[in-house]
Amino acid sequence: MSSRNIAVVVLAAGKGTRMKSDLHKVLHPIAGRPMLLHLLAAADTLSPERTVVVTGAGRAQVEAAVAPRGARIAVQAEQLGTGHAVMQAREALSGFEGDVLILYGDVPLVRAETMRAMIARLNAADAPAVVVLGFRPAEAGAYGRLIVADGSDRLEKIVEFKDADARERAVTLCNSGLMAARGESLFDLLARLGNDNASGEYYLTDVVELSGAAAVIEADAGEVAGVNSRGELAAVEQAWQQVRRARAMADGATLIAPETVWFAHDTTIGRDVTIEPNVVFGPGVTVADGATIHAFSHLEGATVGSGATVGPYARLRPGADLSENARVGNFVEIKKATIGVGAKVNHLTYIGDAEVGAGANVGAGTITCNYDGYFKYRTVIGAGAFIGSNSALVAPVAIGAGAIVAAGSVVTRDVAADSLALARGRQEERGGWAKRFRDAMIARKKGK
């Protein structure tokens, strides 16, 4: 890799009309993260000296999303073409010396490796002024066609589909839109662009012919897939998931039905983890070695300790922290709560704002009543405590270690360690009452 500085320019001024959305197209999430941030994360691994996002409509949304990453915003008030869009980055790039990598905000899955290959080609011995990333789609459709000198990677020109003749349209090598160019000549080339073409736009692609020294490298079609509609968004999501599922398996996890497991961009999965069908990971989940996530579970912002089991049909919400060998069973929801080593919360339970000690057993239907409509309160269940089924623990409340709460209790006061707490109506029994009742009713019905 060259030691020249790199600047990244991301084009994102397109309106994204076909998304039919109030959210800017490049902010639609893939694997729980805005697509633009996937792209910037990959680009950041090249340690660019600066990053500029060119945006127009919806600028404020984009600015808010990229500001934390230190990217600059350039505004293209009117969409006059891809060449015009790059020109808008001129001011943001003033004083920059080095290579400029041009990306599309709506082509989010380009790998850092590919970006590096483009820069490396730009700095090869023959030193082209421009490197274009080409690909061969199944359907060449309306993509720009790459006209290459016979038997070389020398790119003569790019012809937009609308401007192409029949011979040019027959070319299968297409323009992904992505380009690397020498900063020293890029803006001079852009200044020479005209808009005398079928679209009346300033085409970035024309810098190829103007430079007289361009090269092409090829990418996989999936990697340069763009998002213009919700359908394409789903296709790109699917492609991302396929790669992630394969990686999870390569790293030693068992996915019984991989096509039904949905990861987030930052999911961390250990070895010997089993993930059953139809599991969804929201952002912020870590699953340690040897854990099992049973079918139909939904996890977000949660940590699952080694050997722990979750589900089927469990919901782990942000702040759920399961220690080693903890068990969280069916129809259980855990939020902002730690479940101690080996503790069991197996059936039909809500645990929120709580701490469940090691080895504790929380019976079926137990609810931590953590909210009074205004504030949230904590429940602490000591190690080895046993909470009988269908108990309501009204927080703030603490159940001591080793204590037993009788089934059906509504616990409003702290329970000392090793005590039994009974907080329910006492059982009464009236011998023969049921029979007397039935006999009386039958007699009354007959008398009518």
Task: Please identify every residue annotated as catalytic.
Answer: 347
Find the part of the chain contacting ligand UD1 (CB under 6 A) among 11-19, 44-52, 259-267, 351-359. Answer: 11-19
- Judged by CB, which is closer to ligand UD1: 158, or 380? 158
Binding mask 34-73 for ligand UD1 (x = CB under 6 A): --------------------x-------------------
> How near is the Cβ of 11 to ligand UD1 at its closest, in Å?
4
211 binds ligand UD1 (CB under 6 A): no
Question: Contact with ligand UD1 (CB under 6 A): which of 51, 76, 297, 303?
Answer: 76
Structure tokens at 313: 């049909």
Question: Contact with ligand UD1 (CB under 6 A): which of 31, 100, 204, 310?
Answer: 204
415 binds ligand UD1 (CB under 6 A): no
Q: Say if CB 80 and CB 11 are below 8 A apart.
A: no
Question: Contact with ligand UD1 (CB under 6 A): which of 96, 104, 281, 386?
Answer: 104
Q: Say if CB 254 and CB 275 are below 8 A apart.
A: yes
Paired residues of 190 in beta bridges:
none
321 binds ligand UD1 (CB under 6 A): no
Question: Contact with ligand UD1 (CB under 6 A): which of 24, 84, 182, 327?
Answer: 84
Cα three-residue angle 266-258-41, rounded to 5 degrees: 25
Binding mask 221-260 for ligand UD1 (x = CB under 6 A): -----x----------------------------------
11 binds ligand UD1 (CB under 6 A): yes
340 binds ligand UD1 (CB under 6 A): no
Count of residues binding ligand UD1 (CB under 6 A)? 27
292 binds ligand UD1 (CB under 6 A): no
- Judged by CB, which is closer to ligand UD1: 205, or 241? 205
> How near is the Cβ of 180 to ligand UD1 at its closest, in Å?
15
180 binds ligand UD1 (CB under 6 A): no
210 binds ligand UD1 (CB under 6 A): no
- Judged by CB, which is closer to ligand UD1: 154, or 378? 154
Burial of 68 (C-beta count, 10 Å sphere; 0-12/13-18/19+)? exposed
- Judged by CB, which is closer to ligand UD1: 219, or 285? 219
> How near is the Cβ of 144 to ligand UD1 at its closest, in Å?
2
Q: Tell the residue number behind the tokens 């309106």, with chain if given.
A: 15
Three-state SS string over the chain comes to CCCCCEEEEEEECCCCHHHCCCCCHHHCEECCEEHHHHHHHHHHCCCCCEEEEEEECEHHHHHHHHHHHCCEEEECCCCCCHHHHHHCCCCCCCCCCCEEEEEECCCCCCCHHHHHHHHHHHCCCCCCCEEEEEECCCCCCCCCEEEECCCCCEEEEEECHHHCCHHHHCCCCEEEEEEEEEHHHHHHHHHCCCCCCCCCCCCHHHHHHHHCCEEEEECCHHHHCCCCCHHHHHHHHHHHHHHHHHHHHHCCCEECCHHHCECCCCCEECCCCEECCCCEECCCCEECCCCEECCCCEECCCEECCCCEECCCEEECCCEEECCCCEEEECEEEEEEEECCCCEEEECCEEEEEEECCCCEECCCCEEECECCCCECCEEECCCCEECCCCEEECCEEECCCCEECCCCEECCCECCCCEECCCCCCCCCCCHHHHHHHHHHHHHHHC
Question: Contact with ligand UD1 (CB under 6 A): which of 7, 36, 85, 173?
Answer: 85
- Judged by CB, which is closer to ligand UD1: 14, or 307? 14
> How near is the Cβ of 142 to ligand UD1 at its closest, in Å?
7
> How near is the Cβ of 28 to ligand UD1 at its closest, in Å?
13
> How near is the Cβ of 90 to ligand UD1 at its closest, in Å?
14
Question: Contact with ligand UD1 (CB under 6 A): which of 71, 132, 135, 203?
Answer: 203
Cα three-residue angle 261-20-66, rounded to 5 degrees: 70
- Judged by CB, which is closer to ligand UD1: 71, or 364? 71
357 binds ligand UD1 (CB under 6 A): no
Q: Say if CB 243 and CB 261 are below 8 A apart.
A: no
409 binds ligand UD1 (CB under 6 A): no
Question: Contact with ligand UD1 (CB under 6 A): which of 19, 37, 38, 160?
Answer: 160
> How near is the Cβ of 88 to ligand UD1 at its closest, in Å?
8
Paired residues of 328 in beta bridges:
310, 345
HSE, side-chain direction, 13 A CA sphere, residue 399: 35
Question: Contact with ligand UD1 (CB under 6 A): which of 7, 43, 80, 411?
Answer: 80
User: Rule CB under 6 A: which residues touch ligand UD1?
Assistant: 11-14, 54, 76, 79-82, 84-85, 104-106, 143-144, 158, 160, 174-177, 203-205, 226
